[in-house]
């Protein structure tokens, strides 16, 4: 069997992981909060894409123009109403708050949409092409991957070139100093959480055509997103992007050459090894913890 | 402070006296309404609700006490104990998951309140000789047995297993391996996976490389759709895909004709089988819930009907146990009798069916006496 | 002295309670769950509350105890007490390995690493064959002396004993050198280290104690329910429930975890069994066939996890220091 097959499918799947990881990493960096509701925010994106497709007949990739602003606003309000109340509280309280909010979201979805998984079948859902011999490349995954790359590049320029982006980065580097410099850190937190939510929802929408939509579907991606942002270095956009692809490839390679039931163990072992050997992550700055 | 609080709680829990001999018969129903198995739980809820309606129409009154176990054995036990002590029910239908059913079954003889398991597959539930535990559905080993019997005539030589790392997945594949060995099939791949992953392509590529005649699958819900999509994508095309129940028997799966056409699956029930009332149940269920009934719904319907009809005559738990043991029924699940055979106790020797998706519809294709259509073999895209 | 007298009354009350309420398995079952959660949360509190190390992976120790005991009892039919002791050893080994990894880390990293270690344990148990894998372990028969292990009473006292031991250790720790060192580590790890406190040693000591106690509870749980699988004893949800109980009662206090368990366990059970809706209907306050009655019976029954989530959020927002924190502020 070709070595290229797991490599390519790993990279493409990793792209979606990366997007989920980037959103979480940004929240981590700016607000110093582990967001356990991140998977549920992804689920929100999946349902938005599903309803845009079934009710408004908009292609899931095009519906991103609706999903991104809606989910940004949702995240922004969520930060304003709930998260900022605990921003100075101990970590475990913040974590439990996001767990509670996640429970509320997933169980509201369970009541509203029932636990029947929804399948978003587009004309290209199971189509593939063969660029190199018998290696198949999934069309929807490739599209998702390209959109992920575009979003990552836009985000990178937003953070490094715009004044809001620079203020976000300043808050991420040193909250107190940023405040002293006249940056409205409370507003930056809300913006960061809004962007994080929008990225999670986008990841959800991107995976919707090749995955299934279920109130608890986001949970699969939660621990992966954590692993990715630690791997890349908390707060590093590029790091999370690379981290996502690494995780995707490691999973695909270990299913192919070892065994599919041990692949998650391998991912966690790598995660622990990185924590021990390079706790700032692959792309984080030293002392950033 | 502590014991005062505890006694308040205890008092609150005991506040309402038991109504042991109130007029309508009292039956408990333990189900997974929340948690991981909530989707299948909903089918059971609907099936049971229809049974209660039909019984009411026939003039049989019943007070049903519903309990949620959330798929957690600890909660299932609490639910069963609440039902038998506080609510004083004389019989209990449920629980759905094998883990929960195992725990509750092990206590049924202690409380002497009959338990009718509608759809849990684990064999050992009815293999421990419990007097008060009855099971309607066929256990896990029958899933693979019936599937292999159905394709035996075509003389396949090799088999690959792809299955979820769950109780049902592992149990079913274990018996499937035994059945495959008996048939002289050679196992060429064995891929166990964790549920809910977005990418099964590496596992499926390995299976494709082994080029098996049969691919035996056990997956839940939408994982089945995901696997078959990715199988098509990478061009995996054996002579037959054999799906053991669960995700391969949902209406949603059948609707995805592009990927699900000609997939063969084992099921406890279909709506085109010639068992009395099966077709009618299917029609009414669709009208009421706007979706196809799964075999879980049919099992829950029949379990609830048998339990309530028997209990309303029996009135007490010991009599109910004797009547369940002695009785026989014929309904939407065909003939039902709780018998002792091959190490089982109070197990309904239910004939499972093999169905194949033909033109976007499940058609019963095996055994011959229940089917109208023939199995299409080999599989083609 | 006053405290000891108070405690004696409390203990006597708890010991006599089963005699008062009689052999009611449902109520005793809930009391056992309460005692177990109180003890689990108290054991977690030794590490989380006093040393300030918020482990999100305590399910690993619970599962280690439960699996060791169940495997030994089912395969070799050994004395359950011996199996519990082996469970402690296994949990301690896992704790030492975990400690050597996670105690190098701080803050978020510590919490995430503890989840990762627990997930490695869970997935390994799921993949190995000797652990029963995804099928779990069912125990049909177990004997200890001439106790009736079908009855719940032995388990009630077993859980109570572990709770008393855990609370005694916690009470002793608070006034011991180790306790002061742990609290110094919690307040400022670097300052504690600069005072010459061997922070790794004391953190590991707290973790070992906490893990050993947790494993005993896991063993008791296994023998009590007689069926375990990874989702029942090794799931992240269990770790979270333990922390939530401690936080709602009051982290870093002796009685906080107990109070948390006394509130949350019955609340969860009432929500699960829809007791609140039932009571309102039976008390005649709400008609069963009215809109409200149907809502209570139908939708609320399906929404209990949602209600649990709402309560969690409200507690974190309005009772960040737990219920005991509320009383402290008033004083």
Among candidates A100, A268, A289 on the partner chain, residue whose Cβ is nearest the Cβ of C107: A289
Please tell me the predicted confidence (pLDDT) of residue B211: 93
Q: What is the pLDDT of residues B131-179, one digit of tens each?
A: 999 999 999 889 999 999 999 889 999 999 999 988 889 889 999 999 9
Please tell me the predicted confidence (pLDDT) of residue B322: 93
> In this structure, are B213 and B359 located in the same domain?
yes
Please tell me the predicted confidence (pLDDT) of residue B16: 43
Question: Taking the CB of residue B258, how many other CB atoms lie within 10 A of it?
Answer: 16
Q: Which other chains touch chain B, taking contact as 3+ CB pairs less than 8 Å apart?
A: A, C
Specify the pTM.
Answer: 0.89
Please tell me the predicted confidence (pLDDT) of residue C12: 78
Residue B102 burial by Cβ neighbours in a 10 Å radius (0-12, 13-18, 19+) = buried
Tallying the residues shown for chain C, one arrives at: 331
Span A252-262, average pLDDT: 87
Please tell me the predicted confidence (pLDDT) of residue A192: 94
Q: Which other chains touch chain C, taking contact as 3+ CB pairs less than 8 Å apart?
A: A, B
Span C73-97, average pLDDT: 91
Cβ within 8 Å, pair C150-B103: no
**In the predicted model, what is the mean pLDDT of chain A?**
88
> In this structure, are B133 and B180 located in the same domain?
no
Contact B44, C69 (CB under 8 A): no
Residue B336 belongs to a domain: yes
Q: How confident is the model at residue A52 (pLDDT cuts 50, 70, 90)?
A: very high
Q: What is the pLDDT of residues C56-81, one digit of tens each?
A: 899 999 999 999 999 999 888 888 89
Nearest CA in chain C to A280: C109
Among candidates A127, A216, A252 on the partner chain, residue whose Cβ is nearest the Cβ of B202: A252
Q: What is the pLDDT of residues B212-234, one digit of tens each?
A: 999 999 998 788 998 998 998 88
Q: How confident is the model at residue A288 (pLDDT cuts 50, 70, 90)?
A: very low
Q: How confident is the model at residue C331 (pLDDT cuts 50, 70, 90)?
A: very low
Contact A140, A128 (CB under 8 A): no
Span C157-182, average pLDDT: 88
Residue B55 belongs to a domain: yes
Distance of CA B271 to the CA centre of its chain: 16
Q: What is the pLDDT of residues B38-87, one digit of tens each?
A: 888 889 999 999 999 999 998 898 999 989 898 888 899 999 999 998 88
> In this structure, are B332 and B207 located in the same domain?
no
> In this structure, are B208 and B152 located in the same domain?
yes
Residue B314 belongs to a domain: yes
Q: How confident is the model at residue A199 (pLDDT cuts 50, 70, 90)?
A: very high
Span C176-204, average pLDDT: 82
Among candidates C10, C133, C232 on the partner chain, residue whose Cβ is nearest the Cβ of B73: C232
Start-to-end CA span in chain C (Å): 22
> In this structure, are B214 and B361 located in the same domain?
yes
Residue B381 belongs to a domain: no
Contacts of C309 in chain A (CB under 8 A): 100-104, 107
> In this structure, are B358 and B230 located in the same domain?
yes
Q: How close does chain C come to A241, measured CA to CA in Å?
A: 19
> In this structure, are B191 and B118 located in the same domain?
no
Distances (CA, A) of B191 to A5, A30, B27, B156, B290: 17, 42, 42, 20, 36
Contacts of C302 in chain A (CB under 8 A): 110-111
Local structure of residue C100 (DSSP, 8 states): H
Q: Does C329 score more than 70 pLDDT? A: no
Residue B375 belongs to a domain: no
What is d(CA C94, CA A43) in angstroms, rounded to the nearest whole number?
Answer: 34
Q: How close does chain C come to B27, measured CA to CA in Å?
A: 15
Contacts of A121 in chain B (CB under 8 A): 256, 258
What is d(CA A172, CA A176) in angstroms, rounded to the nearest whole number?
Answer: 10
Q: Does B338 score more than 60 pLDDT? A: yes
Cβ within 8 Å, pair B198-A13: yes
Q: Does A286 score more than 70 pLDDT? A: no
How large is the ipTM? 0.87
> In this structure, are B212 and B360 located in the same domain?
yes
**Could you tell me which residues are beta bridge partners of residue B358?**
B361
Please tell me the predicted confidence (pLDDT) of residue B22: 45
CATH number of the domain to which B327 belongs: 3.40.50.2300
Residue B376 belongs to a domain: no
Q: How confident is the model at residue B90 (pLDDT cuts 50, 70, 90)?
A: very high
**C-alpha dihedral sign at A63, A65, A71, A77:** negative
Mutating which of A36, A40, A83, A275 best tests the C interface, going by the most C Cβ atoms within 10 A?
A275
> In this structure, are B294 and B360 located in the same domain?
no
- Closest by alpha carbon to B141, among B127, B129, B154? B127
Q: How confident is the model at residue C197 (pLDDT cuts 50, 70, 90)?
A: confident
What is d(CA C152, CA C178) in angstroms, rounded to the nearest whole number?
Answer: 36
Contacts of C305 in chain B (CB under 8 A): 34, 70
Which structural domain range is residue B256 located in? 141-267+353-370
Cβ within 8 Å, pair B206-A211: no
Please tell me the predicted confidence (pLDDT) of residue A250: 93
Contacts of A230 in chain C (CB under 8 A): 109, 112
Q: What is the pLDDT of residues A118-150, one digit of tens each?
A: 888 888 877 888 777 778 888 889 999 999 999
Q: How confident is the model at residue C86 (pLDDT cuts 50, 70, 90)?
A: very high
> In this structure, are B168 and B208 located in the same domain?
yes
> In this structure, are B357 and B297 located in the same domain?
no
Nearest CA in chain A to B232: A126
Nearest CA in chain B to A219: B196
Cβ within 8 Å, pair A210-B39: no
Bigger pLDDT: B276 vs A286: B276
> In this structure, are B247 and B366 located in the same domain?
yes
Residue B379 belongs to a domain: no
Bigger pLDDT: A123 vs B105: B105
Residue B179 host element (H or E): helix B167-183
- Closest by alpha carbon to A191, among A49, A41, A27, A21? A27
Number of domains, chain B:
2
Residue B380 belongs to a domain: no
């Amino acid at each position: 069997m070709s070595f290229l097959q797991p490599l390519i499918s790993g990279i493409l799947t990793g792209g979606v992981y990366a997007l989920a990881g980037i959103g979480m990493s940004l929240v981590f960096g700016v607000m110093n909060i582990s967001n356990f509701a991140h998977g549920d925010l992804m689920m929100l994106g999946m349902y938005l894409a599903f309803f845009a497709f079934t009710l408004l007949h908009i292609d899931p990739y095009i519906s991103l123009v609706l999903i991104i602003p809606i989910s940004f606003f949702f995240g922004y309000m969520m930060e304003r109403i709930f998260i900022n109340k605990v921003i100075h509280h101990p970590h475990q309280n913040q974590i439990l708050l996001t767990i509670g909010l996640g429970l509320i979201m997933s169980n509201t979805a369970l009541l509203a949409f029932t636990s029947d998984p929804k399948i978003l079948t587009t004309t290209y859902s199971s189509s593939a092409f063969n660029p190199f011999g018998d290696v198949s490349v999934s069309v929807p995954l490739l599209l998702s991957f390209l959109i992920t790359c575009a979003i990552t590049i836009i985000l990178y320029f937003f953070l490094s070139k715009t004044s809001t982006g620079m203020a976000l980065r300043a808050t991420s580097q040193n909250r107190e100093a940023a405040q002293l410099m006249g940056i409205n850190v409370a507003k930056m937190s809300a913006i960061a959480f809004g962007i994080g939510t929008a990225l999670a929802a986008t990841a959800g929408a991107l995976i919707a055509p090749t995955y299934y939509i279920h109130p608890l579907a986001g949970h699969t991606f939660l621990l992966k997103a954590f692993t990715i942002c630690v791997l890349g270095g908390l707060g590093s956009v590029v790091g999370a992007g690379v981290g996502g692809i690494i995780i995707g490839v490691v999973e695909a390679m270990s299913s192919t050459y070892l065994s599919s039931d041990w692949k998650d163990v391998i991912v966690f072992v790598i995660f622990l090894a990185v924590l021990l050997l390079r706790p700032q992550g692959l792309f984080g700055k030293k002392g950033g913890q | 402070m502590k014991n005062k609080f505890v006694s308040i709680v205890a008092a609150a829990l005991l506040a309402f006296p038991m109504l042991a001999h109130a007029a309508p018969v009292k039956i408990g129903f333990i189900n997974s309404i929340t948690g991981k198995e909530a989707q299948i739980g909903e089918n059971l809820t609907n099936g049971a609700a229809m049974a209660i309606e039909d019984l009411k129409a026939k003039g049989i009154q019943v007070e049903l006490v519903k309990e949620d176990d959330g798929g957690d054995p600890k909660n299932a036990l609490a639910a069963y104990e609440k039902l038998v002590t506080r609510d004083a029910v004389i019989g209990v239908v449920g629980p759905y998951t094998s883990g929960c059913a195992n725990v509750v079954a092990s206590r049924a003889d202690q409380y002497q309140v009959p338990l009718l398991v509608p759809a849990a597959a684990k064999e050992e539930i009815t293999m421990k000789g419990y007097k008060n535990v009855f099971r309607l559905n066929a256990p896990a080993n029958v899933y693979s047995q019936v599937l292999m019997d159905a394709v035996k005539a075509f003389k396949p030589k090799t088999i690959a297993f792809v299955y979820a790392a769950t109780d049902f997945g592992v149990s079913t594949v274990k018996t499937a391996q035994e059945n495959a060995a008996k048939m002289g099939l050679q196992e060429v791949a064995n891929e166990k996976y964790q549920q809910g992953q977005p990418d099964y392509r590496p596992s499926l590529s390995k299976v494709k490389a082994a080029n098996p005649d049969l691919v035996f699958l056990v997956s839940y819900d939408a994982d089945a759709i995901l696997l078959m999509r990715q199988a098509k994508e990478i061009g995996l095309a054996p002579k037959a895909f054999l799906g053991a129940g669960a995700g391969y028997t949902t209406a949603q799966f059948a609707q995805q004709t592009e990927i699900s056409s000609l997939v063969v699956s084992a099921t406890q029930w279909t709506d085109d089988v010639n068992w009395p009332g099966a077709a009618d149940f299917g029609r009414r269920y669709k009208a009421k819930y706007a979706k196809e009934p799964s075999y879980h719904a049919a099992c829950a319907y029949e379990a609830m009907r048998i339990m309530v009809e028997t209990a309303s005559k029996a009135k007490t738990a010991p009599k109910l146990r004797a009547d369940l043991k002695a009785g026989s029924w014929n309904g939407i699940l065909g003939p039902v009798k709780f018998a002792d055979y091959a190490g089982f106790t109070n197990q309904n020797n239910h004939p499972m069916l093999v169905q194949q998706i033909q033109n976007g519809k499940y058609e019963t294709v095996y055994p011959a006496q229940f089917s109208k259509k023939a199995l299409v073999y080999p599989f083609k895209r | 002295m006053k405290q000891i007298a108070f405690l004696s009354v409390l203990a006597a009350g708890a010991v006599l309670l089963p005699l008062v309420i009689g052999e009611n398995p449902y109520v005793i079952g809930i009391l056992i769950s309460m005692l177990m959660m109180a003890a689990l949360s108290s054991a977690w509190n030794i590490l989380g509350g006093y040393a300030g190390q918020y482990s999100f992976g305590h399910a690993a120790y619970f599962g280690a105890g439960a699996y060791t005991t169940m495997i030994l009892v089912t395969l070799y039919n050994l004395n359950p007490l011996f199996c519990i002791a082996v469970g402690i050893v296994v949990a301690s080994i896992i704790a030492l390995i975990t400690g050597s990894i996670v105690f190098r880390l701080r803050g978020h990293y510590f919490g995430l690493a503890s989840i990762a270690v627990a997930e490695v344990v869970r997935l390994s148990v799921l993949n190995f064959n000797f652990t029963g894998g995804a099928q779990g372990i069912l125990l049909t028969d177990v004997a200890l002396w001439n106790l009736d292990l079908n009855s719940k009473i032995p388990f009630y006292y077993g859980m109570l004993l572990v709770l008393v031991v855990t609370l005694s250790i916690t009470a002793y720790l608070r006034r011991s050198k180790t306790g002061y060192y742990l609290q110094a580590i919690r307040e400022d790890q670097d300052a504690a280290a600069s005072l010459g406190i061997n922070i790794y040693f004391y953190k590991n000591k707290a973790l070992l104690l906490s893990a050993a106690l947790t494993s005993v509870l896991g063993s008791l749980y296994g023998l009590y329910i007689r069926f375990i699988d990874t989702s029942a004893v090794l799931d992240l949800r269990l770790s979270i429930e333990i922390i939530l109980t401690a936080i709602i009662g009051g982290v870093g206090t002796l009685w906080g975890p107990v109070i948390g368990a006394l509130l949350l366990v019955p609340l969860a059970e009432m929500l699960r069994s829809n007791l609140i809706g039932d009571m309102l209907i039976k008390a005649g306050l709400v008609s069963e066939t009215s809109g409200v009655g149907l809502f209570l019976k139908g939708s609320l029954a399906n929404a209990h996890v949602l209600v649990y989530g709402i309560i969690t959020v409200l507690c974190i927002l309005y009772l960040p220091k737990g219920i005991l924190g509320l009383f402290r502020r008033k004083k």
